[in-house]
């Protein structure tokens, strides 16, 4: 792992969350955000982890997944804007 790499810390956070280690997961996500405060996916993953109860394991269904480069970066559109747009569509349907 590269110590100063935000995505590495974010992935470690997800690994801890999948093991049911909420506090370690949040700590790793916080480290990712310290390195890159604009790392949108880490904010979203942090919210999903915060909602876990006790030793509950983070399940894939609780994460919003997308092909970041195809769906967001190529369109030069912020991730949160992309996801909020989808949420607005669901609410109005």
**Whether residue 49 sits in one domain with residue 15:** yes
**Whether residue 45 sits in one domain with residue 13:** yes
Phi-psi region of 76 (alpha: psi -120 to 50; beta: other; left: phi over 0): left
**Whether residue 74 sits in one domain with residue 41:** no
- Give how many domains the chain has, as a whole number: 2
**Whether residue 45 sits in one domain with residue 90:** no
Q: What whole-number distance in Å separates Cα of residue 55 and Cα of residue 57?
A: 6
**Whether residue 72 sits in one domain with residue 35:** no
**Whether residue 32 sits in one domain with residue 2:** yes
Tens-place pLDDT, residues 15-24: 999 999 999 9
**Whether residue 36 sits in one domain with residue 21:** yes
CB-based contact 69:80 (threshold 8 Å): no
**Domain span holding position 27:** 1-59
**Whether residue 74 sits in one domain with residue 44:** no
Tokens of 36: 């890159």
**Whether residue 48 sits in one domain with residue 18:** yes
Q: For the chain (length 93 residues), average pLDDT per consecutive 10?
A: 85 93 96 93 90 83 53 58 53 45
Is the pTM for the entire model greater than 0.75? no
């Amino acid at each position: 792992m590269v110590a100063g790499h935000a995505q590495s810390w974010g992935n470690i956070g997800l690994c801890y969350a999948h093991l049911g280690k909420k506090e370690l997961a949040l700590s790793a996500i916080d480290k990712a955000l310290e390195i890159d405060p604009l790392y949108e996916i880490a904010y979203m993953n942090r919210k999903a982890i915060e909602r876990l109860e006790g030793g509950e394991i983070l399940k894939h269904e609780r994460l919003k997944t997308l092909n970041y480069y195809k769906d967001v970066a190529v369109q030069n559109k912020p991730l949160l804007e992309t996801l909020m747009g989808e949420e607005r569509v669901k609410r109005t349907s």
